[in-house]
Structures are given as structure tokens and as C-alpha cells.
Amino acid sequence: MLACSTIAVGRRLSHSIVILAGCLLWLTHPAFGQDDTAKPERYRLPPEAIANLIDAPPTPSVSLDPHRRWVLLLQRPSLPPISEIAQPEMRLAGRRINPRTNGRSRVSHYTGLTLERIADRSERPIKGLPEEPRLGSVRWSPNGERVAFTHTREGGIELWVADVATAQAKRITGPRLNAAYGSPCEWVSDNRTLICRLVPSDRGEAPEEPQVPSGPILRENIGKKAPARTYQDLLKNAHDEDLFDYYLTSSVVKVTLEGEITPLGKPGVIAGAEPAPNGKYILVETIHRPYSYLVPLHRFPRRVEVLDMTGRVAREIADLPLAEEVPIGFGAVPTGPRSFGWRADAPASVCWAEAQDGGDPRKEAEVRDRVYTLAAPFDGEPVALVSIGMRYAGIMWGNERLALVSEWWWKNRKTRTWSIDPSRPGSEPTLLIDRSFEDRYNDPGRPIMTDTLSGTSVLLTADAGNTLFLSGSGASPEGDRPFLDRFDLRTKEHKRLWRSEAPYYEYAVDLLDPDKMTALTRRETKTDPPNYFVRDLVSGDIQQITDFPHPAPQLTDVYKEMVRYERADGVKLTATLYLPPGKKPEDGPWPMLVWAYPQEYKSADAAGQMTDSPYRFVRTHSHSPLLWLVHGYAVLDDPTFPIVGEGDEEPNDTFIEQLVAGAKAAIDEMVRRGVADPDRVAVGGHSYGAFMTANLLAHSDLFRAGIARSGAYNRTLTPFGFQAEERTLWEAPDVYAAMSPFMHAEKVNEPILLIHGEADNNSGTYPMQSERYYNALKGHGATCRLVMLPHEAHGYRSRESVMHMAWEMTEWLDKYVKNAGPRGGTK
């Protein structure tokens, strides 16, 4: 008989374990598959070797000061306890807010700060930090003499500032910051003032939910098309609207280093408050009613204004309506101005883009977007800077004569970058880059930026503004080899300054001194963890400036190999093979875990390009399939499963066929190499990888078992598109049906483990997706298990949940893969 069970970890008995009536198969562990209804389920721990990897200490993050003199080391904690994840949470218009702090819930934090001088490697821990620090929103002052950060404690979020010269921190405000949406504070260019958003002092108590409704909830549409993707955490009623106003309303204020607070303008639902480079104005975006129950807050009406430093409105730039009617499709945007920001190289000039095609990518148009600017004192008309034929992707400012404008288009996967002269609005731009963004081999890299005295970032140039510096991943048939180039804007020629060499994977974090040609790089090998170095690009000399230790020495002698093989149709594929510590390929075969995530392409050549590097450091994380290396499994990590649709063909028209062909090619190659036992291979994935897993079990017999975490399995529940699919359910019903594992549940004849967070907030992956798919499998007698993790979102954060996930996966893999008999035996 086939067994099916569902587990809600940590729930009460009545909700904890439901066993399919008539199931006779009992698994070996008393809480795993057995009719154990006498006691509730509890969190479990995986084998000690796996648990130790999960608990490995995180490596500090690094932040470079604006003048490249200091690096700030930010210490990170291990996984938080479930008690932290279980704190109260308001889910409003796509935001998740902790009502106890008025900040985002589920946010990561730092526990310590240390300054290290690049010149001599001297370290200075920041003193005076609060007890049990929970630090975030770290911001260097424009002159690099101070660091601002927040501290979250019970009751609210405080502003703190550390002085670099003394390495001493002090609190600036009490727990009044409103961090529910965006960064709560930004430096002004005077280096002594910050623009912050505070909870209004007279806010009062949160609105209580009415016990008796005043009437029904009404929603009406009269002939307008308002398609929307499957968003979560939307507003549902008038009480939600009141809560949204309560928690997101803030006052924009000036805060000095002495703690003096000056209000600016009226309180509102402030989406952004950014000071101008000259420190005399603030660009403020305010969300206002009417709100929507169909789309999240980034599509709500908003007013964009420029305020002076007294709070007076210098100019209203735009008052944008509710954007429910944005067309479906990549490249669809709202009508009207969007993407507001200050021009980084000018004292006070606002920049934005505006669609010229109604925001609809399906319409034919010579000009898709136009970029406008408006300079202080903001009393004239906006100036059209440049018109582009594809969708605006951003602008990098250089100086009064140089800026780079980027555009992209999804249908043909094109991206272009133009050089423009901002001093001559409307003049003919110069094309610098024209390529497919799928083509990694021909990616010229991204320009290196430098910080200004105003706190903005502009293009780093040389030769009187004629030379840029480009840093890229250096994708090649031998793997990624990061590089640093000079690029001549006049000749469009590249000159290679440096390239990563085997056996290292090293990339340029920043160019420290373009005159001395020194760069800050991050270097690693398969066995040496990433550390930071100062590299002389002329002599090749390097100086190490951090000494982060190996977080998991037990993985030092893990075998790693980049593998190349072909699909039956000739598309080249890539995967990374890992073997258990101390093992070599000739010691095989092993039970194998294949962990993957499909990706769509318009070009078979681009799909077949090499990804990643064979010299990257072997490090696990809490969700990594590499955890099972220490439990005797070989792991094929991230094998490419490209779904190609060249020309007028859509990739998903042959999704199943290409998916199965990619999986077969991977297994065949691993068996040929002698590292995998074809009777003991499992497949797994997270999110779209879970969707992939369910499809592979339904449409092939290549695997003995599957593990699907936080997936979506019924595409009729995401009818207005999903992943890279732009067509709606009504435009491509056969594609939606063919790609939905839910529609093919009767074909699944291998064991499948489903894991899902009960508070999943990802678009399309409702917890209901796993619950209904489990019911469909159960109804057809499949061997399956459903684990719902309380309080967890799309990614699992608490130590208890992550440990239990690892326990579930270990038990499943051992039962149905490692210890499985040959195919054809009785299940």
C-alpha cells in the first residue's frame, strides 16, 4: 500500500497529524509515517553532522567607506529562534510589519561593528553599542567620518551614529523611527543632519477591528481591464485600510547629531524622502487613497513633491492615480511619470522616466520611454533629456557632459546602453552596448562608480571623462573569470587591466585608486573562504586585509567539479558535482541528490553557456543541498535545465519535454562517470524548483523520490502569468494545464515530500498550493508527506524550522533513496 501523511510542525494535537485511512505502511521512525496520533509532533534535529553545518557561524558582511580608507565589518548572528519569527505581524498591502517595533518583520540584523583601516589593517571595534544589539540600515556619512545605523528593540527603532575617529557610538533618537517601508533615515550632504521618518508623536492606539460589520465589502469593475499577478498580503477591508494608514504614516523630519528634531511638511504614508545632493531640497513620495484590494502598495496612488528645508512645497512633480490597469507582460509599466530620483552629479535636479506607449509592451511604438529632468528652483517646464526605443532600465550619471542610459526588452532579450550629453537635451545619443542579456560570454561588465562629497554615486572616469572602468563576471567556456577593464568612450575599445586566474575565483569590489591602479578584491578557492585583498593591478602584488576563517572545516576536502554534458537535442548543459568529504569519483557510486531550478531562454546558444566557476569556495547555507554531503550523498547542484523557445516559439510550449530531457542527460552523465547509482537518485528544489520536481515525478521515472519546498503546482491559481510566462490562462490554456503537476497527480508513482511555510508571502506560492496538491496526491494513493512550517514565509528563517526541514529531508532521502532496493521491488 502507498502511504500519505501531513504534519503541521508545532501545532496542537487536533491539527498535527492526519493519516490516510487504510494506510498500512509504517516507516522506521516513530514520528515518520506511523499512525502516531497519541502525541503531538515536535521540532526535530537532523543528524549531528548536518546540524553542525547549519549552525556554522556566518561570515561578517563588509562595507567600504566613501573615500576607500576603511572597511566596516558587520557581524551577523546565527539563525533566529522560532520565538522571534512568531512575533505579531501585520500583513498589509504587500508589506509585513511588526506592530511592536513599527518596522519590517522578518528582517535580518547585525550584532556588532568593527572598523578596519585598509592602509595598516588596524582594527577598532565600535564601542558604546546598545546591549543585545539588533542593528540595521547602515549608512556612511558623505565624508566618511560617521556611520549611521538603526537599533531595533522592544517598543521601537532608534537612530544611532558612530564616530569613526573615536570608534564610539551614541544614540540620537528614541524608539520613534518608522521603518515599515524603505530606509528610515538618509544623510544630508552637510554630514551633520539626517532626513528621517518618525512615527507621529500623537498617533494614539491602533484601530480596533469592529466586532460587527457595518455592511458588505463591495468591489466593482465597469468594463476596464485590470489583470494582476497573484499577489499576497493584500488589503481586504476598511479595517485593513485603517491599519495600513496607522502603521505606515510617518512625519518627515530633520535630525541633527545633537538629537534636535525639526518636522518638515505634513505627516503621510511616506514611500520615500531623499535629500538633494546640495542639501537644500527633499524629494518626497507620499502614498494616498484610494487604496486597492487587487494590487500591493507600490501600485497605489502617490504624490511626488519637492520640499525645501523648511517643509514648504517647492514643486509638485506628479500626482499619480491607482495603477490597477497596468497591462500583463514583462515591460508593462504604469502610465505617467515613474522611477523618480535626484540627478547624482547636479546640485538639485529631479529625473524620471515616462512611457510613451501607454505602458503596454504589446503595442507597436518607435519611442517606448522618454527621460525628463527638472532643475531647481523647479519653476520651469520639465526638459526631455533622451528618448529610447525600449523600456527604461536606469541611468548612471557622470558629469555635466556624460551619463549612461540603459534600456531593455523582454521579447528579444535585448539590452542597450547609450552615452548621452546631459548639457544638450535631446541630442543624438551614442550607442555603446547592444547585446542579448542572456549572453553571459559577451557581457562587457558594469561601470565602476565613485562617491561624491554630496553622498551620491557617479561614474568613475579618467582621461578628462573619456575613459570608464568596467568590472564583470567574465563568463567563459572555462567558467567565470572576473575582470577589470578600461573602456574608451571615443573608440569603444576595451583594455584588460586584470583578470582572475586559476586556482582562484577573485573579483574586483572597487577601484581604490585609479592613479595608482589599486583595487579591493574578494578572493577565494575551493578550500579557502572568501577574504578581501588590496591588489596592485600593475605589479600583481596583493595584500590581505581580512582573515575570515573556514566556517565549516569538515568540508575542506569535499570533491568539486564543474561538469559539461549535452541534452539529446544538442543543447550544452552545466552542473556542479560534489562528492562526500574525502571521496573521489573512482570511489562511487553514491546515492545522489539533484537540486535544480529551471530557466527560460530565447537562444539555445545562450542556454548552453557555462555558468559559475570551478574555483568558488565550497560553503553551505541553511537551505543548501550540500548539507547532505556529510551524510553520504553525492550532490549535483544547479544542473542547468534550460527551457528554450527560439524565434516565435515560446519556451513553455515544450516545457515538459525539455525538462525531462535535461534531467535524463544529467543522470546519464552521472551514471557514465560512475558517481551515481541510477536506482538511488532523488530530485529536489525550492519554489520554481519545487514545481520542477513535481513535474519530473509526474512525467518521468528517472528519480526514486522528490523533495518540493514552497512550490506552486496548479497554474490555474496564477492565471495572469507566472515565472517567465507572459500569456494568461485564457490565451494558453493547454500550456497551463500541461505544466500544472496538479493536473497530473495520478501519474506520480514515486515518493514526494512537500514542505511549505504557513506564512508564505511569495507571489503565486500560496500555502494552499501545497495543501491542495497533497490532497490530489493522497486521493490517487501516492506516497507523499506534507510539512507545514508555522510562521515561516517563502524562505525559512528560524533555527527550529530549518533544523526540522533538514530532519524531514534526511529521513525521506534515507528511506526512499539511500536504503531503497532496486527498481521493481515492492514499495
* Residues noted as catalytic: 687, 760, 794
Residue closest to 181 by CA, chosen among 258, 244, 262, 253: 244
Q: CB–CB of 491/483 below 8 Å?
A: no
C-alpha cell at 675: 558517481
Give me 775's grid cell: 490532497
Nearest to 561 by CA among 652, 668, 667, 635: 635
Residue 523, C-alpha cell as written in the block: 578572493
- Other beta carbons within 10 angstroms of residue 519's beta carbon come to 27
- Residue 435 buriedness (CB in 10 A; 0-12 / 13-18 / 19+): middle
Amino acid at 75: Q
Residues 724, 328 contacting (CB under 8 angstroms): no
In angstroms, the CA 285 to CA 275 distance is 12
* Element spanning 335, H or E: none
Q: Which of 579, 673, 678 is nearest to 629 (CA)?
A: 579
Q: Rounded to whole angstroms, how far apart are CA atoms 273 and 184?
A: 9
User: Is residue 690 classed as helix, strand or coil in its secondary structure?
Assistant: helix
**Dist. CA 336–CA 359, nearest whole Å:** 9
Largest CA distance in the chain: 81
Q: Which amino acid is at 347?
A: P
Residue 734: what are its φ and ψ, rounded to 5°?
A: -65, -35
Query: Could you tell me the three cell numbers for 501?
Result: 586566474
Cβ–Cβ < 8 Å for 372, 382? yes
590-595 and 676-686 beta bridge pairing: parallel
Which residue, among 647, 642, 623, has the nearest Cα to 570 in the 3D structure? 642
**Amino acid identity of 621?**
H
Taking CA atoms, 21 is separated from 13, 776, 785, in Å, by: 17, 15, 14
What's at 566, amino acid-wise? E
Buried residues in 91-105 as b, exposed as e (16+ CB within 10 A): bbbbbbbbbebbbbb
CB 582 within 8 A of CB 557: yes
Nearest to 684 by CA among 664, 668, 704, 665: 704
β-bridge mates for residue 354, sequence order: 337, 370
Q: How many CB atoms lie within 10 A of CB 537?
A: 19
Q: DSSP assignment of 547-558, as one string?
A: -PPPS-GGGTT-
114: cell is 568593527
Cell numbers describing residue 386: 533622451
Contact 288, 306 (CB under 8 A): no
Q: Give DSSP secondary structure letters for 757-783.
A: ETT--STT--HHHHHHHHHHHHHTT--
What's the CA gap between 742 and 726, in Å, rounded?
21
C-alpha triplet 697, 703, 709: angle, nearest 5°: 60
Residue (of 108, 105, 111) closest to 130 by Cα position: 111
Cell triple for 742: 496538479
Nearest Cα residue to 506 out of 520, 486, 517: 520
